[in-house]
Amino acid sequence: MNRYRSDIDGLRAIAILPVVLFHTGFSSFSGGYVGVDVFFVISGFLITSSLNNDFRAQTYSIAAFYERRIRRIMPALFAMLLLTFLVGALMLLPLDMVDLGTSMWGACLFVSNLTFWSLSGDYFGLPSERQPLLHTWSLAVEEQFYIFFPVLLAILHRFMRDRSITKLLAVLFVLSLALSIYASVRSPVANFYLLPTRAWELLAGSLVASGLRGPTSRRIAEIEGAFALFLLIVPIFAYGPNTPFPGISAVPPVLGAALIIHSGLGDSMSSAGRLLAHPLLRFVGLISYSLYLWHWPIIVYTRYGLLDVNLAQKFAIVAASVGAATLSWRYVERPFRRTGAVMGRQTLFIITSSVLAVLSIAGFLVARHGWEGRFPVAVVRAADKSTFQGPHRECGLAYDRKRTVETLCVLGAPGVKPNFVVIGDSHGDAAAPAVFDAARAVGQAGYQITATGYRPLLGFEKVGEQSKYRYLNRLTVHVLDGHPEINSIIIPIYWRQAVTIDGYLSSDGRRVASSSSVELGLRTLIMRYPKRRFLLIASSANSPLFGANAATRARLFHYHNFAPTVPIQNFRAMEASYRGVLDRLGNLPNVQVASYASKLCDARACYGLINGNLAYTDDNHLSYYASRLLIPTYKQFLMRAAQKKAGGQRTSKVDSESR
């Protein structure tokens, strides 16, 4: 296929515009991320078409293929990486510069998807406002595909006919899609970032390019084009951060993109194709690669410097992104794209290798220490959340350190047998120092079982962290079953994330609604130990303006009246997602509920600063100062639980003697 497809340039526009608007923060485009999947389909189609033409003309050359890829991808990418690094050197705090160095190294070697996957978060959970190269994960997926696919296709063309090749590609498509559907339940983070679960999207384009005939009539082309636009547009507005993705949810946009491309294979262009071929959409499509490269660093650095952006500034970000993309396309992309236009093949490879090496080394060196010498020591310390976390943080990570009953931390009053346990996720880790301070004051000691993302939900496992949940649930039961002297359990967890973001599997492998899983799992734990007292701790608000990093940026960029807040109505709306679960559990006879919101919020707002002190270490974790605000509650709870236990023992003794 050699003819120019103006509708495909328009399809690129349909792909990039929702991505940019979603990333910029226009909430109506909550599913704008599906544009990346549309790009994958387009890439698979164009690359396969180009390779098939080479094979049929017997002009295939792996060197020529990679030369085209280098001319297409590298110049604009290098320009973006270099400028992102220079701006980062001026703006980014050391820990953020470490992240930039790591991700720059990953971007240069096209392993960004592996880099961000290894952070054990997710695309929506990462501190994305401080990751200017987060978007390069999709480029890494494409380039990894391009490493293997041309070689595979060359081998297949040597030994198989076109129809057999198409059938084999269809098999690979089905296998990858099936793996993606399976991983969307079992390992959603890997599913999002890794090539094996994304390959089917590129292969969808490859299948259209590998022997599929165009529509046999104008009417079929019209129906196909209209249905394709429906499949493309609806997810952009209907999907959101909580939509399991990719997997089944990715089928509509992928199918829509494939149908648009297929509808244009016939002799006449459909109405959808003519719409996409509009000059304005075609222009946006032409600059779409540069727009994808530049929009995200512009968003990140704008938010980094301004801390937050209003509606006018969002529009300014979009305009600046389009302007930067236009310049990049005109003066970087186009001059390098034509073979021989700027330099010969050998020179191109040498320069590309050299730039890759320099940028990789720079990224590696920066990742070592974040170039701390750019700032005074006091600034470096103030920006580090560990400065505000308090003591005993080494007692977390119960799963990573494979804690056992014998190796769990025992904290509180020295020389006292533990009679309580703190169990929870990283919010439990943040609250634990204050709990043990309270225990020390009342002469008690306890165990700590905390790990990032862990909630003691008996009978349930978190999607993607099944092994962690099995291990820690087993440890929790062993501690409570094996130590009858334990009379109280304190459970501080990140409730909003637990019931709205994370997914869970029941013991028989079924996916269960998050709120139901949290309620049933905690209820099972509580009912298993009816004679123990439970204290459930609800967290307060969260905001990207909270924490050490934001406060330090406010100082650096001279925001003298920095006083971050979350309007109380926003917090109440967030709290509503878990309040019902918490209230129902709180009605159980051996359960008490407490909330940090009672100390960090009033009738107007929730506050990121209390009496001039940081209430949070980052956007959602409490500082040591704030965690201590509930010490009176912890002391009262621990003393009552101990008195109840002692009273029960005395009653049992009297009953025994009377018998």
Give which of 320, 332, 327, 330 is closest to 295, Cα–Cα.
Answer: 320
Q: CA-CA-CA-CA torsion for 639, 642, 645, 651, nearest 10 degrees?
A: -70
Cα separation, 522 vs 500, in Å, equals 16
Per residue in 279-314, pLDDT (tens digit) is: 999 999 999 999 999 999 999 999 999 988 999 999
* CATH 3.40.50.1110 domain locations along the chain: 383-651
pLDDT at 186: 82
Per residue in 187-205, pLDDT (tens digit) is: 888 999 999 999 999 999 9
pLDDT at 323: 97
> Is the distance from CB of 408 to CB of 449 less than 8 angstroms?
yes
> Is the distance from CB of 198 to CB of 180 less than 8 angstroms?
yes
Per-residue DSSP letters for 612-639?
Answer: TEESBSSSSSBPHHHHGGGHHHHHHHHH
533 phi/psi in degrees, rounded to 5: -95, 140
- Tokens at 100, concatenated: 């930039």
pLDDT at 651: 35
pLDDT at 650: 40
pLDDT at 135: 94
pLDDT at 410: 93
Strands (E), 272-401: none
> Is the distance from CB of 54 to CB of 259 less than 8 angstroms?
no
Query: Angle at CA 195, nearest 5°, toward 191 and 125?
Result: 40
Q: Which helix or strand (DSSP H or E) is residue 614 part of?
A: strand 613-614
* Topology of the domain comprising 383-651: Rossmann fold (3.40.50)
Torsion sign over Cα 601, 607, 611, 617: positive
pLDDT at 657: 30
The stretches in the chain having pLDDT less than 70 are 1-3, 120-128, 338-348, 351-352, 354, 358, 364-365, 367, 645-659
> Is the distance from CB of 420 to CB of 394 less than 8 angstroms?
no
- Tokens at 218, concatenated: 């104008």
